[in-house]
Amino acid sequence: MASISREILIDVPPDQVWEVVSDFINGPLRMAPTLVTATTDLGDNTREVTFTHGTVVRERLITLDPDSHRFVYSVYSGTPTPLHDNAVMQVFPHGPNASRFIWSRDILPDSLAAPYAATMDQALTLFKKTLESA
């Protein structure tokens, strides 16, 4: 099983980062507005996310923990559909007005690790830029 882990520092307070991350339906649009073109609420804690490069994924909310600023979700179908996917986003304080954001995932098959990692990298760059310029 492939594991991917990314970390960035964002120059906004953790509560502002968490407010975007914890928005299950619209969070992807708010994080990466030029990478994500649409999100749809499918009900039962599931959503569909459409990306500019044509990929569409359906995701299930696993955990939303406001006390630890931890969000867990899983891709369960789409183009492509992983055999297994478990993604975790977590926000930590970093200094008086900044945040450390960690995004990790375990994914099968291993061949999906590179494209998923590339999308995560692109999304993180946009997320930082979007929040810091707001």
Cα→Cα distances 83→23, 33, 111, Å: 26, 28, 11
pLDDT score, position 47: 98
Residue 125: CA count within 13 A, CB half-sphere: 8
Rounded Cα–Cα distance for residues 50 and 54 (Å): 7
Q: How far apart are CA 54 and CA 14, in angstroms?
A: 31
pLDDT of residue 61: 98
pLDDT along the chain (134 residues), means of 10: 98 98 97 97 98 96 98 96 97 96 98 96 97 94
Task: Extract the tokens encoding 105.
Answer: 């995932």
Return the CATH number at 54: 3.30.530.20
Note the pTM of the prediction, 2 decimals. Answer: 0.96
Tokens found for residue 84: 């297994």
- Domain extent for 63: 2-133
**What pLDDT score does 134 carry?**
86
Q: Which two tokens stand for residue 81?
A: 């559909």
Number of domains the chain is built from: 1
